[in-house]
Amino acid sequence: MIKMSTKGRYGTRLMLQLAHHYDDKEAAVILRRVAEDEDISIRYLEQIIIPLKVSKLVKSIRGAGGGYTLARPPAEIKVSEILHALEGSCCLVECVEDGDFCSRMPYCATFEIWNKASQILKSYFDNLTLEDIVEIDRKKRKARSK
């Protein structure tokens, strides 16, 4: 089974929390609050936030009322950007991204399967924005409160 690491999953949840507070320009989100809300270790979130900052997906605000905010509106952040910052390439197997990885590529039938599946997955994440996830979350919260 192919699995995404906790870094990608938790990082996406962190970005969702920041997206919920994006329109509240006055308030940056502190990691401790995200850790409590999402039941994720604060130390792990401190590690996850670094590649998100390096990739210019989040920015830090210093001082009183400081914390983290999204660097761009949620509608402008693709899920593929988040996952690339945290997980690296969105390929199912190494040979899809690195043509020199395996000498069997020119005659390997399974390479075609992995290549096509990786393209489908990448396209899905390229077309899904953080705003889309915010909308999904709002619908689930509304359904849960009924």
- Domain boundary assignment for the chain: 6-144
Given 1.10.3720.10, 1.10.510.10, 1.10.10.10, 3.40.30.10, which CATH number is that of 6-144?
Answer: 1.10.10.10
Inter-residue contact 55 to 88 (CB < 8 Å) = no
| Per-residue model confidence as pLDDT tens digits over 34-46 | 999 999 999 999 9
Q: Under DSSP, is residue 131 helix (H, G, I), strand (E, B) or coil?
A: helix
- pLDDT tens for residues 104-127? 878 888 888 888 998 999 999 999
CB atoms closer than 10 angstroms to residue 136: 12
- Taking only the tens of pLDDT, the chain with its 146 residues reads 467 889 999 999 999 999 999 987 657 899 999 999 999 999 999 999 999 999 999 999 888 778 999 999 999 999 999 999 999 877 777 777 877 788 887 888 888 888 899 899 999 999 999 999 999 999 998 888 87
How far apart (Å, rounded) are the C-alpha atoms in residues 59 and 40? 20
Up-side HSE of residue 14: CA atoms within 13 Å toward CB?
33
> What is the identity of the amino acid at 96?
V
Residue 51 near residue 57, CB atoms below 8 Å: no
- Helix (H) / strand (E) containing 24: none
